[in-house]
Amino acid sequence: MRKTILIVDDEPTVVALARQKLEEQGYDVRTARNGKEAWDIIQNDPVDLIVTDVVMPIMDGVDLYKELKKDLLLAHIPIVIITDSRIFRESFQTLGVEHFLPKPLDSVKLIHKVDYIFTCADLVRKNKQTLVLGANLEINKQIARIFQEQGCIAGVSSDPIEFMSNCLILTPRVVVVDALIQGDVPSRDVIRALRCFARLANTQIMVFTQFLPEDIGSMQGIEDLSQAKNDCMEAGATKYIGRFTPATFWDMVKDSIS
């Protein structure tokens, strides 16, 4: 299926050149003169990629990006910012933007950037990268083996900081987090931190527990588990899958992987 790219710029010559070069490469191209026109187009018919200038009349590139990220159905669309301003670049990086092109827009660099983004997106879709965070390393390994048996790439960690760092590097499709991780960075804070990053917006966060039935024998233990589960869900977890058991685990998570 042909990819659709939206070029947003108030300079007609820039738009015309970009459109010509992208169409020569087989892409469908739409154009807008400002962020407002772009936003109207995206809402009616979402595109696969946006390439936009920053300074434009009516609505600039900053406001366009913010509107995009407020809509859960559109927030996943990658965006390339055209700018030669270090301040603009650093500001957008703070907001989570990863892709930039310098001014004046070079058609060769544009094609390379677009091809790179779509290639990476295809790899992510094909990738079945998963990460596991839990206090019990043996159970972590069991979970990883189940994922691997189903053709997934699985990594494990018992350290929340290491786990979050790996998530940012690998952008996994699914992460599995033990609800009862405590210490300086409890599970709820891990999940809340992951949800702060735009690149992890589509990552499925599965919450589970590693305890054995004999480990929680008191009402206080049951209450602690219930509170931990609720905290994780409120922090942004996708699904609570309960206590880990090898026999049922894959059935609980397979819909998120496929």
pLDDT value at 37 more than 90: yes
**Burial track 123-133 (b if 16+ CB lie within 10 A, e otherwise):** eeeeebbbbbb
Domains of the chain: 4-125 (3.40.50.2300), 127-257 (3.40.50.2300)
Torsion of CA 102, 106, 111, 114, to 10 degrees: 20
Average pLDDT over residues 170-191: 91
User: Can you give the pLDDT at residue 126?
Assistant: 57
- The pTM of this model reads 0.54
SS3 label, residue 187: helix
pLDDT value at 217 more than 70: no
Map tokens 């366009």 to a residue. Answer: 64
CB hemisphere CA count around 175 (13 angstroms): 30
pLDDT value at 191 more than 90: yes
